[in-house]
A = this chain, B = another copy of it.
């Protein structure tokens, strides 16, 4: 995919036998210091190479409110104007990211906190204005991730911690969805590592009955996914998440896990954790 062709010409060997976990957490973890603390301990305990991707949380909204910046929404989509970009650069790139890094260091993970501008790791394109001007929002394509620079960083012993910011290569930071960043990293890096993508959210995983946490579906392959959709067991809110997951798997990601951050520790103990999406179940 994309910039991968640059990698094959490099001297360093490809580590496709080595495991890489890419774990994405959202506001529900970040906003709860006890959950975050436990999650970061469990993240540290995971064997293999690791990347953490984190979203925002309430702090950016609160800071915007305090500064009198009105949230701008068009058709339910958030607009990133220049003032909002400043706030998310401060909160995502500074406050949240660097506090996560300091905590991870405490637990023994040699974390390094990043935006996509750092190391030119993630280069995005400012979303073109069609009917809506989203402002300083960056979209990713198959060339967005720089695998060689990431491999160099990971190979040097560091654990990247990405916030939801990228850059355009022309000096402009851009706001980019954290789920999309996690998925793009997983797809590109699956050519270099045996890559597992983990989406943490507030549920135990994909549920047969959204109101029953005990109705967890432990694994889904593409065929079962089609059946679940036909039976309308998978509800509309989960469809984009699962579609993206199976696209990532089709592009080389070994498996995708969707689960609750509080359960991440089960992975280390080889216990079932969340819903496992893969090709070869």
Contact = CB atoms under 8 A, between A and B. Distances in A.
Interface of A: 63, 66-67, 86, 89-95, 97-99, 101-103, 105-106, 110-115, 117-120, 149, 152-153, 155-158, 165, 167, 169-173
A105 B98 CA distance: 21
Given A112-B118, A119-B110, A158-B153, A89 B99 contact: yes
Contacts of A169: 105-106
Contact of A90 (B91, B106, B153, B158): B91
13 contacts: A86-B95, A90-B94, A93-B97, A94-B98, A98-B118, A98-B173, A102-B115, A106-B171, A110-B119, A112-B119, A113-B114, A152-B156, A153-B153
A210 B63 CA distance: 43
Number of copies: 2
A115 B117 CA distance: 15
A149 B157 CA distance: 8
A89 to B, nearest CB: 5
A35 B152 CA distance: 32
